[in-house]
Amino acid sequence: MVPVSSGRFVAALSFAVALSSLGALGCNGNDPIPQEVIDGLPAETGSPSALHRPGQPCLSCHSTYGGDAPAFAIAGTVYKETSMGALAAAPNVKVEIFDSAGPSRFACTNAAGNFYIEKDKWADLTFPLKVRAGQRSMNSIIGREGSCAACHKLPSDDRPGNGAGKDSAGVVLVDDGDTDPICGGGAP
């Protein structure tokens, strides 16, 4: 054991306490990356429910970090285009997720187009994932993020239309009428 002078020990302890108070040591709810996403979300309208915040990154809040219950393994929002070209929620769509370990699960979209699978119902989810929403399969794989909106962002000034742009694949779109009887819709 190397002897440490009391002055060095006090300096090292003071430095550790200072880092800890800044969130640099351990997890204390101040992780700047997820916190920046949460802080950037628009104000909540209405009360939280399965229908709230369509198109937003669900796992930012419904995770160990965010702490909102229930915690999700995967979640997102599915849209369709109206005859006028506007985006609208796509309810009753079957979203099937295939993980790299082999199992698959599915969820149905609700009236807001939202779907989710709770973490306790798929605790062993293994990335990368493949996804099919209705009759559309995603061509790329999901490598690490359970919030669809991390890549499939809502339209904005720099991403008009369906939200596609340099930092977004655009929202998840299915064809109008692409519903499934399992999810309360018509024939797939």
Q: Give residue-wise pLDDT tens across range 5-17.
A: 545 444 444 433 3
pLDDT at position 23 = 37
**What phi, psi does 95 have (nearest 5°)?**
-110, 115
CA separation for the pair 99, 141 (Å, rounded): 10
Low-confidence ranges of the chain (pLDDT < 50): 1-2, 4, 6, 8-28
Instruction: List Cβ neighbours of 104 (8 Å cut-off, separation of 6 or more).
Output: 96, 97, 98
pTM of the full predicted structure?
0.77
- Is the CB of residue 50 less than 8 Å from the CB of residue 108? no
**Model pLDDT, residue 12:** 40
What is the token pair recorded at 185? 């819709």
In this prediction, residue 1 carries a pLDDT of 46
pLDDT at residue 49, as a whole number: 76
pLDDT at 2: 47
Predicted local distance difference test score (pLDDT) of residue 17:
38
Please give the pLDDT value at position 45.
66
Q: What is the pLDDT of residue 9?
A: 41
105 and 123 in contact (C-beta within 8 Å)? no
- How confident is the model at residue 119, as a pLDDT? 92
